[in-house]
Chain A
């Protein structure tokens, strides 16, 4: 069974530029999560999708971050414009269904460096 795929693995940009990350969850997983992990800290949830609907985006900085999951499968997370403090690893995870506390499976993450 293929795991959660993410791309790119690394990205370096200048502040005020835009960047997008892509995630392909495990086949059949209805729930998809984006987490931000700043160096030396635990991951923090940014947004959660159930199929193509948003379950929770309370911690997403909506003035610069956006995310979509149009067909209920792949998802993209965008930052526009990026700030220095956005330097972090962006982790995507998926689970069968959020209502049963199903195990979340994580992708390898995208390491973003903002200069």
Chain B
């Protein structure tokens, strides 16, 4: 199993350009997440999905859109990149434990380092 993979690993954008980050998982997990990591800020949740066709906003959703058309894929889009979106982006996936929504743990991808100039 490859686990959680992210494409691309590095990208440099100019202000105003758009791009899509792809996350794929082969563990049949129901839940998927996008985080951004900035120095001294820990990880902050951008958007997440609890199932195919569903998405929800996290802590810092502005400037990003997401889609989950297939269970194994979760896409993060930047329509008009800004320098404030320079960051390392991590995708994660998780599975549900028991009858409730509680997750067990999250598995992280290798990250995408994005620079917006």
Partners in one complex: no
